[in-house]
Amino acid sequence: MTANILDRNFSIEKAYKAQLTLSRRIDFTDRLPEKISYVAGVDVSYSGEWAIGAVAIMDYSNLRIIESKTAFCRATFPYIPTLLSFREIPPATSCIRKIEIKPDVFLVDGHGYAHPRGCGFASHLGVILRRPTIGVAKSRLIGQVEGHDGEFAYLRHNGKIIGAVLRVNRESKPVYISVGNMVSLERAVSIVKHCIRCSNIPEPIRAAHKIATEEKRRITNNFK
């Protein structure tokens, strides 16, 4: 269920079942190379009925942008909490198809496994692309934070660790990290830490957000 249009057969219950099915396909093992060369950030912005996807690829060693792409399409899937991946998959996959450099891992602005049905945007994207993804969200959907030592804590739900909480300093808001696909939670946390610089948001996602926002502004001006 990855189509960007709704038809008469659509139902929220079917979407929930699709998420549960996708969740069972998540690979929690670390499929990344020992040395990461390229990391990508993925974000989606909106302008009225338009959804704008952006991907920014960075050199992992210095976090400099080496490639970026955007794509936009009509956001025909409605805004429904916990089902945002169905709304954001079409613009995200459209811009990812355009890239020439193959990143080792995608950091996605959204949840992965730390989701009520175990499949947020990051996991949905990773499973259908069969690529390593990490969910980095700014808010918590489920789970309890435990063992917080000021910087790091696990996120646990029904006795199971589903993600981690990272706060880079006392003044910053935490981010919620979870496995998207084909990466371990420990490696995911390490990668996110490496990619955080001047903000609590990893640089690849910050870059993708900025690019999506600029494209949103351009589209808005063109349609005035």
- What gap in Å lies between CA 100 and CA 117, rounded to an integer? 33
Please report, rounded to a whole number, the percentage of residues in the chain having pLDDT higher than 90.
79
pLDDT per residue as tens digits for the range 179-216: 999 999 999 999 999 999 988 999 999 999 999 999 99
pLDDT band at 55 (very low <50, low <70, confident <90, very high): very high
How much is the pTM?
A: 0.93
pLDDT band at 148 (very low <50, low <70, confident <90, very high): low
What lies within 8 Å, CB to CB, of 120 at 6+ separation is: 82, 84, 85, 110, 111, 112, 113, 114, 135, 137, 141, 178
- What gap in Å lies between CA 107 and CA 58, rounded to an integer? 11
What lies within 8 Å, CB to CB, of 209 at 6+ separation is: 41, 43, 45, 54, 109, 201
| Torsion angle in degrees (nearest 10) through CA of 205, 207, 211, 214 | 110
pLDDT band at 49 (very low <50, low <70, confident <90, very high): confident
Asked if pLDDT for residue 157 goes beyond 70, the answer is yes
Tell me, what's the pLDDT at 223?
63
Span between the terminal Cα atoms of the chain, in Å: 34
Question: Picking from 2-11, 70-79, 171-180, which range would have the lowest pLDDT averaged per residue?
Answer: 2-11
- What gap in Å lies between CA 197 and CA 215, rounded to an integer? 24
Tell me, what's the pLDDT at 122?
98
- What gap in Å lies between CA 74 and CA 91, rounded to an integer? 9
CATH number for the domain formed by residue range(s) 33-222: 3.30.2170.10
Q: Are 119 and 104 in contact (CB under 8 A)?
A: no
Q: Is 27 helix (H, G, I), strand (E, B) or coil?
A: coil
What lies within 8 Å, CB to CB, of 147 at 6+ separation is: 153, 154
Helices (H), the chain: 12-23, 84-96, 121-129, 185-195, 203-222
pLDDT band at 77 (very low <50, low <70, confident <90, very high): confident
Tell me, what's the pLDDT at 151?
86
pLDDT band at 63 (very low <50, low <70, confident <90, very high): very high
